[in-house]
Chains A and B, each alone.
Chain A
Amino acid sequence: MSPSTTTLRPPRNRFDPRAKSWWRWQEIITTAVLVVPLAVLGILIAPARPWLLGPAAVILLIGLVSALVSPVWKHRVHRWEVTDTAVYALTGYFWRTWRIAPMSRIQTVDTTQGPLQRSFGLSTVVVTTASSAGAVKLEGLDHDEASALAARLTELTDATPGDAT
């Protein structure tokens, strides 16, 4: 038997381009939460200034570079797809994760939308199965698209018999 060459093909769809801005703002906010307290303390406490402002500058630099680069990268790498039989998603680059949840085993389909996501008109669709490790999250879909997708998934899973365990 010749060695196998089977590989996984990436899911077909990219996330909404607006997700890039959403991810970017998430990174900016995370960076700010870390940097601002350090900077404020650094300004107030003179003796400890180099010990506080130094790390603050480093975090700021990493945060800014990451905010510039990673959303573009993420958008290129993260993919999703829903077929008639399964939900399929790929996330991560350094640690790639492919998740496949069969339609017949899906228990709940939720759409969620955080305040930041709302301002970009985005939503997340969370597909859960009976496994604690089986949830598939599609983060960064257009809001209307997400609602339509959730409706379609609910319809498909309702049509599939079985108790999903």
Chain B
Amino acid sequence: MTDEQPDTAALDGSTGTAELEDTENPWLRLHPDVLKVSAIFILGAMIAAGVPTAIGIASGTSWPIALAWVVPGAALVIGAVVLSEVIRLRTTRYRVTGLRVEMTSGIWFKRRRSLARERIRSVDLAANPIERIFGLTKVKVGTGETGGGTDSTTEQTLTLDSVHKTEADRLRAELLRRNAVGAGTEVGPDGGQRLATWEPGWLKYAPLSFLTPMLAGVVIGAVFQVADWFGRGGLPVEIVGDMIEEYGAWTALVVGLVAFLIIGAAGSLLLQGEAWWNHRLDREPGGTLRVQRGLMTLRSLSLEEKRIRGIELVEPLGVRAAGAGRLDVVAIGLKTDQEGSDLSTLVPAAPLDTTRAAAEAVIGPIATDLAPHPKTALTRRLRWAAIAVVVLVAAAVTCHLLWSLPALLSAAIILAAGGSSVFAVWTAFDAYKSLGHARTRRHLVSRRGSTRRATVHLDRSGIIGWRITQSVFQKRMGLMTLDATTAAGKGHYAVIDADEHEILDFADDAVPDLLRPFLIREGD
């Protein structure tokens, strides 16, 4: 039961005296170079926004008029931002005492934030390229508490934006030092234990992620958008038309598709390369995992191992085909259901052996044989696939009946419908092959999914309830879905479409005594 008091209190004017009394823990300021970083940043933003605006206005009127509008406007914005930054820098103070981390800011609205040091669960650092030039780093201190109730999401964080790199490292070390005494024995030269080290070769998995088709789509959208800005919204269509006339429809289609996929792959490579360059996963003395990574923006994420309730081995289709997978952590206070969030990723897509080794280093042995699910689970998946095929075929037929289509479009529709149908049926078999569950000494293991195959190893002591569901269709097939609820990660992890009797024994076995009173067994 957490019984927490709000840690933020209004400034009561007593800081003045506190400052005089407390010479041990003086109030500190943010680094003055923050002003330069902010100024450069806003200058860059103004140039990026101002130049196209000026060109736009100038094309309608003339350059002097355009500059007369844009330059003072930009100057005004820059001035306002710099002024507010000066005020922020002057009024923000922070200090670390024996029990708390405190920060005060603001002049009109004084804000004081204070976190109890024993509750601090993470100290994350981030430095973007401009900050790196000046040796600055943002520090985000979090208690990782996300109240259990629906209305009390009370994650408390305190962000120092920014301090000098050495000060950031000092803060991180000091705030996470707490349990350092008597920790791990295999201590490396830097006081930590290396669990995984990134290799440039891992970059080859980046284009295989779902980011590639997504970015390709974004690029196509962007082309139309830019054409539209210049009043030539129809231009891309005309170009495509010309290409079809010149090279033939199929060549144009295939070349276009390949070109966009290459662009998407390159984009994916850049994004993931930037995010994961020089990635390291370490275990630090004191029971903390630390992920460091980044090419332009350096990131350092720390996670208290006490919060870890398991791991998830994620193998998206493309990455899986290449024999790779990524390692996510299931931890309290780390929401993993947010789309595109990579905060919970410990190891990016890497050869499966490496990922597994890292997983074992984090939570112990993971090797286990998974129990397959009943054949009826395959029947169920094939039925879904059949429905998908019927819908696709019906759609394709309807298109042909309603309109007389040109040969190319007709062929494209048939090809798309046929391809999707094959994929749907293949997915049914593959998804069934993925299904499996097991119980190990410490964990409940469940694997599922085809396009995103994921194997979760959930700490059995972290299971805080069951949610068992059975639809009428499942009942007829003797299937049942077992959902283990937990305070960590997504909040619940499921074993889907298992045998309706066996899964109850499994659940009873996984968390002793919880389900027992509600079960009827033979001979009872």
Q: Which residues of A contact B (CB under 8 A)?
A: 3-9, 11, 81, 83, 85-86, 88, 93-102, 105, 107-108, 128-136, 157-158, 162-165
Tell me how far the C-beta of B514 lies from the nearest C-beta in chain A, rounded to whole angstroms. 5
Give the residue of B462, B501, B504 whose beta carbon is less than 8 angstroms from that of A165.
B462
Tell me whether A164 and B148 are in contact in the complex, defined as CB-CB below 8 angstroms, given that A105-B464, A131-B486, A132-B491 are known contacts. Answer: yes
B491 and A107 contact, CB distance less than 8 A: no
Q: Mark B492-524, 1 if CB is under 8 A from A, else 0.
A: 100000011110110010000111011111100
Cβ of B150 within 8 Å of any chain A Cβ, yes or no, is: yes
B148 and A129 contact, CB distance less than 8 A: yes
A133 and B492 contact, CB distance less than 8 A: yes
Question: Chain A residues near B465 (CB, 8 Å)?
Answer: 99-102, 105, 129, 131, 134, 136
Question: Chain B residues near A11 (CB, 8 Å)?
Answer: 518
Which of these binds chain A: B161-169, B231-239, B466-474?
A: B466-474
Question: Chain A residues near B517 (CB, 8 Å)?
Answer: 83, 85-86
Tell me whether A165 and B464 are in contact in the complex, defined as CB-CB below 8 angstroms, given that A4-B501, A4-B505, A94-B472 are known contacts. Answer: yes
Give the distance in Å from the alpha carbon of A164 to the alpha carbon of B522 in the complex: 33
Across the A-B interface, how many residue pairs have beta carbons closer than 8 Å? 138
21 A–B contact pairs at CB < 8 A? A4-B501, A81-B518, A85-B513, A86-B517, A93-B472, A96-B475, A97-B468, A100-B465, A100-B468, A100-B515, A105-B465, A129-B148, A129-B464, A130-B464, A130-B487, A136-B465, A157-B1, A164-B1, A164-B2, A164-B148, A165-B148
Give the residue of B1, B468, B522 whose beta carbon is less than 8 angstroms from that of A8.
B468
Question: Chain B residues near A134 (CB, 8 Å)?
Answer: 464-465, 467, 485, 491-492
Interface size class of B (residues with CB under 8 A): 35 or more
Tell me whether A94 and B471 are in contact in the complex, defined as CB-CB below 8 angstroms, given that A6-B501, A101-B465 are known contacts. Answer: yes
Give the distance in Å from the alpha carbon of A98 to the alpha carbon of B481 in the complex: 10
A5 and B521 contact, CB distance less than 8 A: yes
B471, B486, B505, B508: residue with the most chain A Cβ atoms closer than 10 Å: B486
Give the residue of A3, A94, A102 whose beta carbon is less than 8 angstroms from that of B464.
A102
B332 and A86 contact, CB distance less than 8 A: no
Give the distance in Å from the alpha carbon of A131 to the alpha carbon of B492 in the complex: 7
Question: Chain B residues near A130 (CB, 8 Å)?
Answer: 148, 332, 464, 486-487
Give the distance in Å from the alpha carbon of A108 to the alpha carbon of B518 in the complex: 23
Tell me how far the C-beta of A4 lies from the nearest C-beta in chain B, rounded to whole angstroms. 4
B513 and A133 contact, CB distance less than 8 A: no
A96 and B470 contact, CB distance less than 8 A: yes
Question: Chain A residues near B98 (CB, 8 Å)?
Answer: none
Cβ of B33 within 8 Å of any chain A Cβ, yes or no, is: no
Give the distance in Å from the alpha carbon of A128 to the alpha carbon of B475 in the complex: 28
Give the residue of B332, B467, B500 whose beta carbon is less than 8 angstroms from that of A99.
B467
A131 and B518 contact, CB distance less than 8 A: no
B residues 184-234 touching A (CB-CB < 8 Å): none
Give the distance in Å from the alpha carbon of A99 to the alpha carbon of B465 in the complex: 8
Give the residue of A7, A107, A158, A162 whose beta carbon is less than 8 angstroms from that of B148.
A107
Give the distance in Å from the alpha carbon of A128 to the alpha carbon of B508 in the complex: 22
Query: Which residue in chain A gives the minimum CB-CB distance to B475?
Result: A96
Question: Chain B residues near A4 (CB, 8 Å)?
Answer: 499, 501-502, 504-505
Give the distance in Å from the alpha carbon of A163 to the alpha carbon of B487 in the complex: 11
Give the residue of A88, A97, A131, A157 whose beta carbon is less than 8 angstroms from that of B485.
A131
Question: Chain A residues near B462 (CB, 8 Å)?
Answer: 165
Give the distance in Å from the alpha carbon of A162 to the alpha carbon of B462 in the complex: 12
Cβ of B149 within 8 Å of any chain A Cβ, yes or no, is: yes
Give the residue of B468, B499, B514 whose beta carbon is less than 8 angstroms from that of A86.
B514
A8 and B518 contact, CB distance less than 8 A: yes
B148 and A8 contact, CB distance less than 8 A: no
Query: Which residue in chain B gives the minimum CB-CB distance to A157?
Result: B1
Give the distance in Å from the alpha carbon of A133 to the alpha carbon of B149 in the complex: 11
Cβ of B483 within 8 Å of any chain A Cβ, yes or no, is: yes
Tell me whether A6 and B521 are in contact in the complex, defined as CB-CB below 8 angstroms, given that A98-B466, A133-B491 are known contacts. Answer: yes
Query: Which residue in chain B gives the minimum CB-CB distance to A108?
Result: B149
A8, A9, A96, A99: residue with the most chain B Cβ atoms closer than 10 Å: A8
Give the distance in Å from the alpha carbon of A110 to the alpha carbon of B475 in the complex: 33
Give the residue of B464, B508, B520 whose beta carbon is less than 8 angstroms from that of A131.
B464
**Which 4 pairs across A and B sit closest by C-beta, in order of nearness?**
A130-B487, A132-B491, A134-B485, A133-B492
Instruction: Please give 11 more A-B residue pairs, beta carbons under 8 A apart, in addition to A129-B487, A134-B485.
Output: A3-B502, A6-B505, A7-B504, A8-B504, A8-B519, A9-B519, A95-B469, A100-B515, A105-B465, A107-B149, A131-B492
